[in-house]
Structure 1
Amino acid sequence: MGGLLFYDWNTLPFVILVLVLSFTIHEWAHAYSAYKLGDDTAYKFGRVSLNPMVHLDLFGTIMLLIAGFGWAKPVPVNRGNFKRPRLFGIIVTAAGPISNLVMAFITLFIFALFQKYGWLDGMSKGSSDAINIFFQLMVTINLRLFLFNLIPIPPLDGYRIIQDVVNLRYTDKLVKFEQWSSVIFLLVVFISPIRRVTLDPYLRLIYDIADALAKPIFWILGM
């Protein structure tokens, strides 16, 4: 921890770089999948782009730096443009978290290549340490974003998936739940006893997922 920050000051430049990459790919995945499935709303807003400036949300980024959890600007999606609104809506929503999972896998694969072929050998300690920190943060932050976004609290992706999955007769109940969502979110993130009971055990899955992703990589590379 670095004072008010969730991350240490020494790693902050790497954290910011990883956040820019991870948030940008996450939101691009939403926008691109919506565009390919027939909705050009995000495209018209310039969101089918890998330009970080069109995706980053200032408050969401600050929250991630302070609390370890955050978000980018929501991608506008008009489900009425889909041939199968609910199914395609789920696909578009899930594309964001899945992109974070894919990035974590790719990072682990590249890091395994570095280890197998000794690409860090001969580098200065500062350079090798910097590369190790970057790889570690790319994996942990992307897995954190993957898990965090699947929590069924608005405006997170998990809640949008629930909206598309549940029967329409429960819509009114979901709307009532949305009124309390901000309060629930703040309680879970900032009240330590509640966070320890609810969120922390859930996020410990990061290590289990990382281990599950690493096993096939090590098998492929014969490590």
Structure 2
Amino acid sequence: MNPTIAMITFRAMLGRRRALLLLGLPLILLVLAAALRITDYHDLDTSANVLQRFGLATLLPLLALIAGTGVIGPEIDDGQIMYILTKPIPRPVIVMTKLAVAYVLVILFAVIPVLLTGIIMAGNTAQITSAFTIGVLVGGATYSAIFVALAVVSRNAVAIGLLYVLVWEILLGNFAPGAKSASVQQWALSVTDALTEASPVKSTVDLPVAIGLLVLVTALGASFASMRLRSLSVASAE
């Protein structure tokens, strides 16, 4: 990890319009949790549904999309990435630094809000808050790797990523049996399911399979982004 690249990336992410989205989305979730708590509509089933539908299935992938594409996509679009590529910094170090920044942003703006939402609504009844927090934490790493890789591959990463999130992860990932097994959301939900006794939390993917896929896809995303950066530098030289 390169501290200089990390600092520049953090400054760029938190100083752009993306910062408003990073703050706005979790704020909506927290307001919803507070409203349900005030109206005394926060039983275990409701809390589990809010944490799953709005936290794990919606907030997490959207925040990861904003963070993952934002840490490197704009630099590729305006050509600034070539300045970094001319430095004697290994491509994997650049990718891992960008990925680490994206993951820290996911922790700050998705994992922590989910933790606070769970505390507001249910405390830690049936370990539901800690389970969803860990589920979002592990799912966030995989989503970040996917979207960083997508940003390196395509200039339309945001549009493609948004389509993927809305159609595959949110729509098909919740309702289509076949798609559930290939959904990051369901893999993260499997981890959550293993950590809580709450009956509403159910995953269709076995835990060992889910953990293996989370690790595999995260590693593949980081590796593919590194290889693609090498091709960018070669193309620039030619």
Q: TM-score range by the shorter chain?
A: 0.3 to 0.5
The two structures have a TM-score, normalised by structure 2, of 0.38
Which structure shows the higher helix fraction?
A: 2
The two structures have a TM-score, normalised by structure 1, of 0.40
